[in-house]
Amino acid sequence: MDEKGLNPMIDNIIDSGIGVIAGVILAYITIRFERYYKKKDNRKPKKIAEKLKQLLELQTNKEKEEQQRNESNNIQVSKQYLEVDIILNTAKQHSHIDRFLIFTTHNGAGEPSHIKPYKVSVLQGETHRPDKLHFYDALKVDYSYTEMLVAIITNKNKPLQYKVDEMPACMLKRIYMTEGIKYSEIHFLASTPTGVIYCSLSTLVDNVYFDDPTDRHIIEMHINELRKHYQNETLRLQRDRIKMQTNTKELIQLQKEITELQQKQ
């Protein structure tokens, strides 16, 4: 076979070889791309599964913490009640105090305001008229009473002193007269995220104004104890609230990330 006859044959062999090689390369590239995108697509479900697992763990931990917090709060409430009860009993037994009540305010949140109705409730206390305590459950107060609350918040270390027979007509005077109270003092105890805690201590005896050195010493000592007690309790509740808010933010962020991954699928 002459040279001219060989050239076309060689050219055909070369062309065929190139075609085969090109086909192999194309097939290889196709397979690699398919594997890459399949692997890439598989990453999203895996990420979602991981996020869902994290979400479940966070929710489980949050539920456990809330249960522990509730149990701890129940213990704290019982302990707090006993501690305060001892303070009130001791003060009442060693002074001319006949009525020692602790109140909290509530109108949604914050300090007293005339803009919306303001209410007060008794937390606990020692009184000659225990049958009257239910009266102080979410008691809606008048303008004068709200002014009194503003006054004790403005000057926290100065109690308000009331000689009942010299008081102007108002809701507080009517309460005092109904219970036979002759003289009363209102003391600020603590501010909370939802209102104010304060106490009222009174006597049924005429011409007793707690100016006896023993009375005054006992009052000041126990008021300081109560302030420390409620301020510490307020700080504890604030720490718990911050922790709960942090846990909630983590859950919301994780749920957001899961939603974004699902939308990209």
Amino acid at 208: V
Q: Can you tell me the distance from the alpha carbon of 176 to that of 162, in angstroms, rounded to the nearest whole number?
A: 10
- The arrangement of secondary structure in 83-243, i.e. its CATH architecture, is 2-Layer Sandwich (3.30)
Share of the chain above pLDDT 70, in %: 58
Q: Can you tell me the distance from the alpha carbon of 152 to that of 48, in angstroms, rounded to the nearest whole number?
A: 56
- Bridge partners, 104 (sequence order): 121, 197
Q: Which of 2-16, 188-202, 231-245, 249-263 has the highest mean pLDDT?
A: 188-202
pLDDT at 60: 74
CB-based contact 201:188 (threshold 8 Å): no
pLDDT at 32: 57
Q: Can you tell me the distance from the alpha carbon of 177 to that of 206, in angstroms, rounded to the nearest whole number?
A: 13
Q: Can you tell me the distance from the alpha carbon of 203 to that of 184, in angstroms, rounded to the nearest whole number?
A: 7
pLDDT at 214: 93
pLDDT at 247: 63
Residue 243 has pLDDT above 70, yes or no: no
Residue 116 has pLDDT above 90, yes or no: no
Q: Can you tell me the distance from the alpha carbon of 150 to that of 188, in angstroms, rounded to the nearest whole number?
A: 10
Q: 158: which residues sit within 8 A by CB, 6+ positions away?
A: 152
Q: 104: which residues sit within 8 A by CB, 6+ positions away?
A: 120, 121, 123, 192, 195, 196, 197
Q: Can you tell me the distance from the alpha carbon of 131 to that of 188, in angstroms, rounded to the nearest whole number?
A: 25
Question: Global pTM?
Answer: 0.65
71-106, pLDDT tens digit by residue?
555 556 667 777 888 889 899 999 999 999 999 988
Beta strands in the chain (DSSP E): 99-106, 119-126, 139-140, 160-163, 183-192, 195-203
3-state DSSP of 107-158: CCCCCCCCCCCCEEEEEEEECCCHHHHHHHCCEECCHHHHHHHHHHHHCCCC
